Chain A
């Protein structure tokens, strides 16, 4: 007599719940990722103020500049003078003048008036005010006129 062997149970794992979860995670990360904040440098510890609320209307043309200190793992300053942080590069505040001139030329080449560009200063809370003012002076020399000082809301 010939016995019919029962079909082998499938060894394939059911991927559906994992895929559901993965898509939910992707959706979450897509929602919370803000590509506007790509110019934000985490090394800058912004000053805090309760009035530092995100603006209701987005500024059309803004030039974000991060000024902060190089710090070690404990948060102590490695260098007493602040740097302007650029992607993969750090410059002293006076050295940034050429870059500002370059940025001004780029805006002008795009037919954007420099009076319509807001220079957003993301300066570390511990940066000497004189350095921030020096930076503003350099920006004025490059014909920028509108400035905004960025701050963070205090964490509860």
Chain B
């Protein structure tokens, strides 16, 4: 008698559930992905009023004044009493002047000296960040490290809203 051999059962694994889960994972990562450029922080000193932060007796604060135009733009940038203009070159001039004031990069003075940013209420925040950047220092020629001019930056007491 001839015995008919049974066909072997398929050894192939059921891949459908794995594919389902994989696609769900892929969809999750695709939807949760946020493309954000590199962001960095500028630290500012803002101890609570009356805290009496240690202040250098020898070195006076460097005062940077930013005057706002009616539209929130920059009307003028001043370092102490000196006008630096309001164009794109004004912040570069501020950067150069700060370097002159501290003497040289990463010096002991750069750790002690403090810059006070005094900006008008209506001034766009962008200009304040540019002023803080100009006071902080510059990038090294390779663009990887920050050469610090000033480490302590603070805000002057807030001005009242002219539209209030």
Given A19-B19, A143-B48, is A46 in contact with B39 using a C-beta cutoff of 8 Å?
yes
Query: A49 contacts which of B32, B37, B43, B133 (Cβ < 8 Å)?
Result: B133
Most buried by B among A25, A51, A118, A143: A51
- Please encode chain A, from 41 to 61, with 1 for each CB lying within 8 Å of some chain B CB and 0 for all others: 010001111111111000000
Answer yes or no: B52 CB below 8 A from chain A CBs: no
Closest A residue, CB atoms, query B155: A133
CA distance A98 to B26 in the complex (A): 39
Would you list which residues of chain B between 15 and 58 have a CB under 8 Å from chain A? 15, 18-19, 22-23, 25-26, 29-30, 32-34, 36-44, 46-49, 51
Given A49-B133, A51-B139, A133-B155, is A26 in contact with B15 using a C-beta cutoff of 8 Å?
no
Q: How large is the interface on B (under 10, 10 to 19, 20 to 34, 35 or more residues)?
A: 35 or more
CB <8 Å contact, A140 and B49: yes
CB <8 Å contact, A134 and B40: no
Closest B residue, CB atoms, query A134: B158
Closest B residue, CB atoms, query A149: B42
Most buried by A among B38, B126, B137: B126
Query: A146 contacts which of B22, B36, B43, B129 (Cβ < 8 Å)?
Result: B43
- B residues contacting A by CB (< 8 A) are 12, 15, 18-19, 22-23, 25-26, 29-30, 32-34, 36-44, 46-49, 51, 66, 68, 72, 119-130, 132-133, 136-139, 146, 155, 158-161
A-B contact pairs, 28 of them (CB 8 A): A12-B12, A19-B19, A33-B29, A33-B32, A49-B40, A49-B129, A49-B130, A49-B132, A49-B133, A51-B139, A52-B41, A54-B39, A55-B40, A124-B125, A128-B122, A128-B125, A129-B68, A129-B122, A129-B128, A133-B158, A134-B158, A143-B48, A145-B47, A146-B43, A148-B41, A149-B41, A152-B40, A153-B37
